[in-house]
Amino acid sequence: MASSPRKPPILSLPQARRIWLRAQRLDTAAPFGSGAAAVAAAIAHLGYVQIDTINVIERCHHHILYSRIPDYARADLQQAQSLDKSVFEYWTHALSYVAIDDIRYFMGAMKAHRLEPRRWSAVGSREETRKLLARIRRNGALTIRDIDDDVLTEKAHLWASKKPSKGLLERAFYDGELVISARSGMLKTYELMDRHFGWERRPAPASDRQVVAYKLDRALRAQGVVSLDSICHLDAPAKKAVAELIARRVKQRLLRQVAIAGSEKPHWARLETLDEAAGATSPAETGLVHILSPFDPLIIQRRRLKLFFGYDHVFEAYLPREKRVFGYFGLPVLIGDEVVAVLDLKADRAAGRLLIQQWTWLEGQDRPEAKRLIEAELERFARFQLAGEAGPAAVPPG
């Protein structure tokens, strides 16, 4: 008589949170060390660090790194990108920093981009792009501000530029002909990719199967326990191939299906991850506090966040004021393995102050000890935000 398949083990929510926090390296204070090497290590481990333009407080790529590198300095990322060249920028689910060792997994996307001319047909001809590349080859790397011979046009949308050359630069970037060799705020310096990295021959592009394996392994490393949705965040076309690879690895006993309390969707984890979780007793260092970016990898996948933490985050910057609950730019506060509060913060750089626009406790979390821990972290967070400017560290509005 054939034996029936084993039922997937059920992970409690505390166990699932513990696995995810460990994978995100948010369960210890300084998991990557310090300096530019720590930046490269953090980006390599997480798989990517999202870049965003919003500047109410420090932009999210710096904020995400700060959350895992306590003495993080912006110059560390600049060194990793421009001098060490250990990271590069490209599109994941958004524009992101990625480890240079992973660039071969993006070269297929670059080629596909080059072969789809209609995507950028409105920005100019291929001949205009070739002329711009020739200029960079002849005169060196440049920013959009270095181009002063454009015939200006009306903006097509809020984030557009009046300079047509901006579209040409972006097309060449996504085609893999240019790389962003330096960044100052949102001002990007473009350089020929091969020249920036000193390549005589480019790394061999990964095959389609290798890219699928990369996406799965990246998620397993940075999430610990995964679902198809979490692996393929904003990448639904990849789900079929990823599901087939998961099935093969389960059959090979490299992965095991698990159930998470409160979820009907299947999840998977490596066997060693489940063994580690079974033996763990503490979810995080005592009193460890993280004021997280709304674009942090722990926060950005909203449904997963709600399942694991019971917290439903809404990015309210684009909502009318009267519909906001947590404020314009709410930042979830993690203590140990619980999201306990949301802080709406704003950096008043002229006055050298970090303003607390709104402090919202989640239900049952308003405790004196939690308040003390958050206030202590706000002091450190303010120093990072203001980069040594004078003034009160964190003050309420008015």
The pLDDT value recorded for residue 395 is 66
The pLDDT value recorded for residue 158 is 46
SS3 2: coil
- Greater confidence (183 vs 397) lies with 183
SS3 280: coil
The pLDDT value recorded for residue 391 is 47
- Greater confidence (54 vs 358) lies with 358
Lowest-pLDDT range of 157-171, 269-283, 377-391? 157-171
CB-based contacts of 259-266 (< 8 A; 24+ apart in sequence): 259/8, 259/9, 259/10, 259/11, 260/10, 260/11, 260/13, 260/16, 260/225, 260/307, 260/308, 261/10, 261/11, 261/12, 261/13, 261/16, 262/13, 262/307, 263/307, 265/227, 265/228, 265/229, 266/8, 266/227
Residue range 227-239: mean pLDDT, rounded: 98
List the beta bridge partners of residue 10. 259
pLDDT confidence band for 277 (50 / 70 / 90): confident
The pLDDT value recorded for residue 389 is 47
pLDDT surpassing 60 at residue 79: yes
Tokens 């421009």: give the residue: 82
Residue range 140-166: mean pLDDT, rounded: 75
pLDDT confidence band for 396 (50 / 70 / 90): low
The pLDDT value recorded for residue 154 is 62
pTM, rounded to two decimals: 0.93
Residue range 19-47: mean pLDDT, rounded: 97
Nearby residues of 51 by Cβ (< 8 Å), 6 or more positions away: 59, 60, 61, 89, 94, 95, 96, 97
Mean pLDDT, all residues of the chain: 91
